[in-house]
């Protein structure tokens, strides 16, 4: 009937026509009624008009919207009547009169006389004060109550639980305090409940499990604590659940897995712990899952994702998730927004392209930044328009499709600025037992020489040959360890001349007491070692070896050395003892010379070797020709042949001439003299 409003002329004339309008309206209603019914309708009409006028004055509404002399059912903005009785009031966005805004109050007592009112919308109309009990006790037919952005204070009165016809209740964006009353659980017809962005405290009432018709529940941005009640498993009609921005703790509510209609689930910004429950895998309608900024841990279960094939948005950032991203993520055909940043995920980049389907990948966003992903960039990333992979350990080249589009800061990528430094990258890859491509530059186990004068090619060849010899010497040296290990009792009297293998060999332990340190170089103090390596700064770290870290150091006299910090008490026990023992037994001028040792410190044993400025053999073998002329060139085939011959010679020595014979076992570092 408010449709009559459409006629502007009527509006202009409404003062004159007011009574005529009422008569016309009532005539319609009276057509089929008795005199008594007509009397009743008329008196109700007048009572409601009086009630509305009282509301107008208690709230300070303007006559612009509610003109005093016209028919409220016909001409008042925001009033909807049925059969001559008010059913809807919408004062949303109204302004108050000047007097009304001087002392605004939440004063709506007269609503009690609007006995057929089903909807009251006062959103964005300031109602400072608490929700009056009159609403709960006397506006019994209310189905929709919208009080968003009304500056309401105080607690939600228990009496709101008496509005058992309520279908939609919006109280968000106010300053409501106190706990959420249990009584809300009585609103069994409720479909939408929005209590978000208030300052509510306490627990979520378990009575909410009775809100079986609830389809949308938003309690985000409050101070709710405790857990999500078990009874939530009964909310089978729930489609939207937002509990983000509270202080909810405990593990994630696995019972939600029961709600197969759930489309949006936001549990972010809480204090949830534990893993993503596999029960979430039953949420087959789920499109949005947000659990960011919690304290979640563990690996993602692939099973969980295999049936979430409607999932579009997956937000896991700022947790403590670990492990690989499961392969099943690629079975999420609709996934267009995926944020797993700021976790401890690792592994190669996941394949997120649904099987065989490469089309239409021009939208969406992928954020895997601040994790520990490694390996190369993959073409599957093209699925997303925005890709942030910064703060990982990705290596290799930046592909064309990524150029200028992806965020790739702080990785281990080649030819790019703002990447991690070589130490960080090498350390990470070593800790994972992986090979780092060293930014595409052949890896020098030992740093290249600082002086870059032109080198005589013969010298290079000689170096390579000797290096080759060293290779096989080393192979053999390591091999002997196996034998030494097996024949420990029979070899105790062997002696050597104090020259030994390169660092980072795996050797079996032998008792310290049996070790004769004479002929094994100088004894250094721990202080000297610290001073030489600058307290083991990362800058001096050459490599993480399997049995200890290898540092470059400068002794007091200015001599550059290599210092190996042998792991103590780790898997390979007493590496230094075994290694020193070995140096006593094996003698060959082409082994890396051992200069000394430092055994005085409980927590670290150190071996000091001569510094080999040309790096190791494998670097030279794989060195590319396009490097600057000053460095070593890739080796030609004559050189390589000589290396092989020299190495064979050395091998022969190890197998047949030295006692006991050494057998090849393991090679890691070979150095060029
Ligand atoms: C509301 O109705 C009560 C009786 O039910 C009456 O006493 C009161 O005056 C009415 N108020 C208004 C504003 O009409
Ligand atoms: C209006 O009248 C119709 C028919 O008499 C009835 O079905 C309906 O419930 C009435 N509406 C209200 C709000 O009283
Ligand atoms: C409520 O009233 C406002 C302002 O008159 C209007 O913009 C809005 O469309 C109304 N809302 C409804 C649901 O009728
Ligand atoms: C209340 O009015 C506002 C403004 O017009 C509108 O956006 C909102 O949807 C209305 N509330 C309900 C429950 O219809
Ligand atoms: C409100 O609900 C409670 C519990 O159902 C009931 O005892 C009480 O009488 C109701 N109050 C009113 C005014 O309807
Ligand atoms: C729940 O909602 C459906 C439709 O949305 C309605 O038919 C049913 O009556 C409601 N149940 C209750 C208890 O309100
Ligand atoms: C949940 O609520 C918060 C705060 O009210 C809001 O920022 C967020 O977008 C909501 N989540 C979803 C999925 O709508
Ligand atoms: C990742 O794990 C390391 C230890 O392994 C820990 O120090 C770090 O805080 C973790 N980072 C995150 C974001 O959980
Ligand atoms: C990715 O996530 C990080 C941290 O969560 C954030 O700082 C960054 O802005 C995000 N990147 C994009 C492109 O949104
Ligand atoms: C493919 O892209 C078009 C427009 O770019 C979009 O309308 C459509 O929804 C997309 N289809 C899928 C399956 O994402």
Neighbouring residues of 558: CB distance < 8 A, sequence distance ≥ 6: none
pLDDT of 488 > 90? The answer is: no
Can you tell me the distance from the alpha carbon of 494 to that of 585, in angstroms, rounded to the nearest whole number?
6
What integer pLDDT is reported at residue 523 of this predicted model? 82
> How confident is the model over 109-123, as pLDDT tens digits?
999 999 999 999 999
Tokens of 304: 């969980």
> How confident is the model over 230-284, as pLDDT tens digits?
999 999 999 999 999 999 999 999 999 999 999 999 999 999 999 999 999 999 9
pLDDT of 630 > 60? The answer is: no
Q: What integer best gives the mean pLDDT of the chain? A: 80
3-state secondary structure of 68: coil
CB atoms near residue 227 (< 10 Å): 17
Confidence of residue 182 (pLDDT cuts 50, 70, 90): very high
pLDDT over 70 percentage in the chain: 70
Cβ pair 484, 491 in contact under 8 A: yes
Can you tell me the distance from the alpha carbon of 307 to that of 320, in angstroms, rounded to the nearest whole number?
24
**Edge-to-edge order in the sheet of strand 273-274:** 273-274, 295-298, 320-323, 344-348, 372-375, 393-396, 412-413
Q: Whose CA is nearest to atom 8 of ligand 1?
A: 113
pLDDT of 485 > 90? The answer is: no
- Residue 278 CA to its chain's centroid (Å): 19
Cβ pair 479, 664 in contact under 8 A: yes
Site of tokens 């009353």: 181
What integer pLDDT is reported at residue 626 of this predicted model? 46
Can you tell me the distance from the alpha carbon of 548 to that of 571, in angstroms, rounded to the nearest whole number?
11
pLDDT of 147 > 70? The answer is: yes
3-state secondary structure of 616: strand
> How confident is the model over 333-359, as pLDDT tens digits?
888 899 999 999 999 998 887 765 555
**Averaged pLDDT, 469-486:** 58
Confidence of residue 653 (pLDDT cuts 50, 70, 90): low
Q: Which of 308, 376, 291 is nearest to 342 (CA)?
A: 291
Q: Which atom of ligand 3 is nearest to the CA of 88?
A: 14
pLDDT of 511 > 60? The answer is: no
What are φ and ψ of residue 489, in 5° steps?
Answer: -70, -30
Distance 276 CA to ligand 9 centre (A): 22
Distance 432 CA to ligand 3 centre (A): 61
Tokens of 481: 């360890």
Can you tell me the distance from the alpha carbon of 75 to that of 8, in angstroms, rounded to the nearest whole number?
10
What integer pLDDT is reported at residue 628 of this predicted model? 44
Could you tell me the maximum CA-CA distance found in the chain, to the nearest angstrom? 130
What integer pLDDT is reported at residue 81 of this predicted model? 96
pLDDT over 90 percentage in the chain: 49
What integer pLDDT is reported at residue 212 of this predicted model? 97
What integer pLDDT is reported at residue 383 of this predicted model? 78
What integer pLDDT is reported at residue 455 of this predicted model? 45
Pocket of ligand 2 (CB under 6 A): 82-83, 85, 87, 116
- Residue 182 CA to its chain's centroid (Å): 35
> How confident is the model over 357-375, as pLDDT tens digits?
555 556 789 999 999 999 9
Confidence of residue 667 (pLDDT cuts 50, 70, 90): very low
Q: Which of 658, 310, 347, 633 is nearest to 464 (CA)?
A: 633
Q: Whose CA is nearest to atom 10 of ligand 5?
A: 162
> How confident is the model over 216-232, as pLDDT tens digits?
999 999 999 999 999 99
Confidence of residue 547 (pLDDT cuts 50, 70, 90): confident
> How confident is the model over 379-431, as pLDDT tens digits?
777 778 889 999 999 999 988 888 888 999 999 999 888 999 999 999 999 99
The DSSP 8-state label assigned to residue 656 in this structure reads: I
The DSSP 8-state label assigned to residue 60 in this structure reads: T
Q: Whose CA is nearest to atom 7 of ligand 1?
A: 113
Strand (E) positions, 91-139?
Answer: 119-121
What integer pLDDT is reported at residue 444 of this predicted model? 55
Neighbouring residues of 57: CB distance < 8 A, sequence distance ≥ 6: none
Can you tell me the distance from the alpha carbon of 198 to that of 206, in angstroms, rounded to the nearest whole number?
20
Cis peptide before 660 (omega within 30 of 0): yes
What integer pLDDT is reported at residue 30 of this predicted model? 59
Q: Which atom of ligand 2 is nearest to the CA of 82?
A: 13
Cβ pair 554, 532 in contact under 8 A: yes
Can you tell me the distance from the alpha carbon of 157 to that of 136, in angstroms, rounded to the nearest whole number?
8
Q: Which of 134, 114, 122, 30 is nearest to 72 (CA)?
A: 114
Distance 369 CA to ligand 9 centre (A): 7
Q: What angle do CA 128, 134, 139 make, to 5 degrees?
A: 115
**Edge-to-edge order in the sheet of strand 247-248:** 201-203, 223-226, 247-248
Q: Which atom of ligand 10 is nearest to the CA of 333?
A: 13
Q: Which of 191, 194, 86, 181 is nearest to 141 (CA)?
A: 86
Q: CA of 347: how far to CAs of 232, 329, 437, in Å? A: 36, 14, 16
Confidence of residue 554 (pLDDT cuts 50, 70, 90): confident
Q: Which of 48, 82, 85, 117 has most ligand 2 atoms within 8 Å of its beta carbon, as the pocket-test mutant?
A: 82
Q: Which helix (H) or strand (E) holds 339?
A: strand 337-339
Cβ pair 372, 428 in contact under 8 A: yes
Is the CB of 342 within 6 Å of ligand 9? yes
Can you tell me the distance from the alpha carbon of 49 to that of 169, in angstroms, rounded to the nearest whole number?
26
Q: Which helix (H) or strand (E) holds 347?
A: strand 344-348
What integer pLDDT is reported at residue 396 of this predicted model? 93
Distance 370 CA to ligand 9 centre (A): 9
């Amino acid at each position: 009937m408010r449709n009559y409003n459409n006629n502007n002329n009527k509006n202009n004339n409404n003062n004159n026509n007011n009574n005529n309008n009422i008569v016309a309206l009532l005539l319609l209603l009276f057509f089929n009624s008795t005199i008594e019914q007509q009397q009743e309708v008329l008196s109700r009409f007048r009572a409601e008009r009086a009630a509305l006028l009282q509301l107008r004055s208690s709230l300070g509404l303007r006559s612009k919207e509610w003109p005093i002399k016209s028919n409220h059912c016909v001409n008042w903005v925001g009033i909807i009547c049925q059969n001559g009785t008010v059913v809807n009031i919408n004062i949303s966005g109204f302004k108050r009169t000047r007097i009304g805004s001087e002392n605004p109050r939440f004063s709506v007592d007269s609503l009690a006389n609007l006995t057929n009112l089903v909807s009251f919308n006062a959103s964005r109309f300031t109602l400072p004060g608490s929700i009056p009990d009159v609403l709960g006790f006397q506006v019994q037919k209310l189905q929709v109550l919208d009080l968003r952005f009304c500056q309401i204070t105080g607690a939600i009165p228990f009496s709101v639980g008496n509005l058992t016809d309520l279908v939609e209740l919006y109280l968000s964006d106010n300053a409501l305090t106190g706990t959420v009353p249990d009584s809300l659980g009585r609103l069994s017809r409720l479909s939408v409940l929005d209590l978000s962005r208030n300052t509510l405290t306490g627990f979520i009432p378990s009575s909410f499990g009775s809100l079986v018709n609830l389809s949308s529940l938003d309690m985000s941005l409050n101070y709710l604590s405790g857990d999500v009640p078990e009874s939530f498993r009964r909310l089978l009609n729930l489609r939207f659940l937002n509990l983000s921005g509270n202080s909810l703790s405990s593990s994630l509510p696995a019972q939600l897995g029961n709600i197969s209609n759930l489309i949006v689930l936001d549990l972010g910004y809480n204090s949830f712990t534990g893993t993503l429950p596999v029960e979430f895998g039953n949420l087959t309608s789920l499109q949005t899952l947000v659990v960011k900024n919690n304290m979640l841990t563990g690996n993602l279960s692939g099973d969980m994702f295999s049936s979430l094939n409607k999932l579009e948005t997956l937000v896991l950032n700022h947790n403590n998730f670990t492990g690989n991203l499961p392969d099943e993520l690629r079975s999420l055909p609709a996934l267009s927004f995926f944020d797993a940043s700021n976790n401890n995920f690792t592994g190669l980049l996941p394949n997120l392209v649904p099987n065989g389907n490469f089309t239409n990948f021009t939208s969406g966003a992928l954020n895997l930044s601040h994790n520990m992903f490694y390996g190369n960039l993959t073409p599957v990333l093209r699925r997303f328009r925005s890709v942030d992979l910064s703060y990982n350990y990705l290596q290799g080249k930046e592909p064309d499709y990524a150029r200028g589009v992806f965020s790739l800061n702080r990785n281990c990528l080649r030819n790019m600025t703002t990447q991690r430094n070589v130490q960080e990258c090498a350390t990470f890859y070593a800790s994972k037992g992986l090979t780092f491509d060293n930014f595409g530059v052949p890896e020098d186990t030992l740093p290249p020489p600082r002086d870059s004068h032109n080198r005589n090619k013969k010298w290079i060849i000689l170096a390579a040959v000797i290096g080759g010899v060293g290779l096989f010497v080393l192979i053999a040296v390591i091999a002997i360890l196996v034998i030494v290990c097996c024949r420990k009792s029979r070899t105790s009297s062997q002696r050597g001349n104090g020259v030994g293998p390169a660092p980072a060999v795996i050797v079996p332990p032998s008792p310290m007491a049996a070790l004769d340190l004479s002929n094994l170089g100088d004894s250094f103090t721990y202080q000297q070692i610290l001073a030489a390596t600058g307290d083991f700064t990362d800058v001096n770290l050459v490599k993480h070896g399997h049995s200890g870290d290898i540092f470059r150091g400068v002794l007091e006299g200015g001599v550059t050395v290599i210092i190996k910090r042998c792991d103590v008490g780790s898997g390979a026990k007493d590496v230094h003892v075994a290694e020193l023992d070995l140096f006593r037994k094996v003698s060959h001028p082409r082994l890396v010379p051992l200069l000394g040792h430092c055994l005085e410190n409980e927590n670290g044993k150190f071996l000091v070797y001569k510094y080999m400025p040309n790096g190791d053999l494998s670097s030279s073998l794989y060195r590319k020709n396009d490097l600057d002329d000053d460095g070593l060139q890739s080796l030609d085939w004559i050189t390589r042949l000589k290396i092989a011959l020299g190495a064979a010679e050395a091998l022969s020595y190890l197998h047949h001439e030295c006692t006991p014979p050494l057998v090849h076992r393991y090679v890691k570092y070979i150095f060029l003299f």
